[in-house]
Amino acid sequence: MSRFSRLRLPNALVMASLAVALAGCSGLSNPFSSSEAPPPPPPIAETLPSSFPPQDMVGRWGLAAYHKEEDRARTEAAAANQCRQPYIITLGPTGGVMMHLADQSTPTELRLKGAPGNRNFIGPAEDPPGGPQDREVISFDGRVMALRWIDTEVQGRYGTMVYVRCGPEGQKPVRQKAAPKRPKAAPKAAPKPVQPPIQRQ
pLDDT in tens, 136-173: 999 999 999 999 999 999 999 999 999 999 988 655 54
Judge whether 117 lies within some domain.
Answer: yes
Reference 122, options 184, 68, 57; nearest CA is 57
Q: Which domain holds residue 67?
A: 54-165
Element (H, E) at 119: strand 119-123
pLDDT of residue 101 exceeding 70? yes
Q: How far apart are CA 160 and CA 68, in angstroms?
A: 9
Tell me if 114 is assigned to some domain. yes
The average pLDDT across 20-43 equals: 45
- What is the value of pTM for the model shown? 0.63
For residue 154, tell me if it sits in a domain.
yes
Q: Are 103 and 95 in contact (CB under 8 A)?
A: no
Structural domains of the chain, count: 1
CB contact at 8 A, 157 and 144 = no
